Amino acid sequence: MMAELCLECFNQLNGTNYKSNEVCLEEDFCEGCGEWKPCVSQLQPKRLHHGLVKRICALFQKDKDI
């Protein structure tokens, strides 16, 4: 189970620099700073990586249709 941490505390604790569009946030009590604020609930895949995976899957789908 992951500790409930706001984005600032999450980045500080993990030595990362995630932006709000790279994570899923849910309103919760941050165990780092002790404030009610949006906390990281899940990391989202990078958009470029996600788009690439979608394109590769689409290519394989086209091959099946032939």
Note the pLDDT of residue 61.
Answer: 76
Give the sign of the dihedral formed by CA 10, CA 13, CA 19, CA 21. negative
Model confidence at 55, pLDDT cuts 50, 70, 90, reads confident
- DSSP 3-state assignment of 3? coil
Reported residue count of the chain is 66
Q: What's this model's pTM, rounded to 2 decimal places?
A: 0.65
Note the pLDDT of residue 52.
Answer: 65
